[in-house]
Structure 1
Amino acid sequence: MTFQDRNTIVSIVVNLTMLTYVISRLITMQAAGAFDGPDAVNVWARMVVWVIPLSIAATIAGTILFNIFFAVATGQQKPSFVVDERDKHFERRGSFAVIAGAGIGFVSGIVALAMDYSALVGLNIMYFGMAAGALGSDLVRFASYRRGY
């Protein structure tokens, strides 16, 4: 397993974990009536503000720990950090998936707002579009490395 594969796997796991957390948190907050008042968007934003840095920190910590455990388990001395044209091509594919997911999520959120859905619904559509784009990027990169082209 290459260094890029390991990092992508960690990123997929963190993305799925964060999506699960956000969905469960939204359901819990909705059931508790946190979104009933006029400050519903502010409550939602405070939750998202904490999810983003938590996700970044979890990805960094997970990458470091997974690579350490992998090196100990396999006896691999030093991973190869060489980036060639193939790696750049796979990164571009992943970037396209992020842009597509974020773009579709943003436009869908705007359309939902134009159709008189609440701001909270529009923001959730945008958030999950961007999260789906990030997860899609990781899956595209992982599949590209598995295929080899």
Structure 2
Amino acid sequence: MSYQEKKNIVSLMGSLLVFVFYCLYVFDRYPQATQNSTATFSFWASVILILIPVSIVAKIIISIVFNIIYRIATNEKEPSFADELDKIIALKATRNSHYAFVIGFLLAMGSLVMSMPPYMMFIILIFSGLMSEVVGVITQIYFYRRGV
């Protein structure tokens, strides 16, 4: 298994763990925020705005820890360059990730059109962000295994 595949698998597992723990914390701590009111919008907006920096910091920490463990285990450095294959794979993964998020965004807006409670829009947006990240990482793993 190549460095890129291992890095993507660790990134995927880390992202899923951070997301699950964050959701457990949010849903356990604030179950009353599901009624329809102005407080609902404020609550869910803060949930999304806090999730973004939490996930960024967690990804940075996971990446640093992975590189340290990888270096200790294999005595190899992280590749310092990206060739054309790496760039093509990253572009295709980004494209698929954006497609997944746009579909989730449209579903979130559709939930408002179908008169669902406003908190459903925010929940769909949060999950579409997670799914777009998962799609991007799985796309990278797939293309590193299969080739472009």
TMscore range, shorter length: 0.7 to 0.9
Structure 1 runs not aligned, ≥5 long: none
Question: How many pairs align?
Answer: 147
State the 4+ residue runs in structure 1 displaced beyond 6 angstroms: none
The C-alpha deviation readout for 1:37-58, integer Å capped at 9, x for no partner, is 6201211222222211111111
Aligned to 2:20: 20
Residue matched to 1:137: 136
Conservation of the 8 A alpha-carbon contact between 1:97 and 1:136: yes
Q: Is the 8 A contact 2:100 2:132 kept in 1?
A: yes
The two structures have a TM-score, normalised by structure 2, of 0.87
Equivalent residue number for residue 101 of structure 1: 100
Structure 2 partner of 1:128: 127
- In 2, Cα distance between equivalents of 1:104 and 1:37: 25
Residue pairs, 1:10-89, within 5 angstroms: 10-29=10-29, 32-36=31-35, 38=37, 39-76=39-76, 78-89=77-88
Taking only the aligned residue pairs, the percentage that are identical comes to 25
Q: What CA RMSD, in Å, does the superposition of the two structures yield over aligned residues?
A: 1.9
Q: Is the 8 A contact 2:111 2:121 kept in 1?
A: yes
Answer whether contact 2:33 2:40 (CA < 8 A) is retained.
yes
Q: Tell me the TM-score normalized by structure 1.
A: 0.87
What is the DSSP-based 3-state SS (H/G/I as helix, E as strand, rest coil) of the residue aligned with 2:34? Answer: coil
In the alignment, is the contact (CA less than 8 A) between 2:101 and 2:132 conserved in 1?
A: yes
CA distance in 2 between partners of 1:36 and 1:29 (Å) = 15
Structure 2: tracts of 5 or more residues without a match: none
Aligned-residue offset at 1:23: 3.6
Taking the aligned partners of 2:27 and 2:61, their CA distance within structure 1 comes to: 27
The separation in 2 between residues aligned to 1:37 and 1:115, in whole angstroms, is: 15
Aligned partners of 2:90 and 2:140 also within 8 Å: yes
Task: Determine the structure 1 residue equivalent to 2:118.
Answer: 119
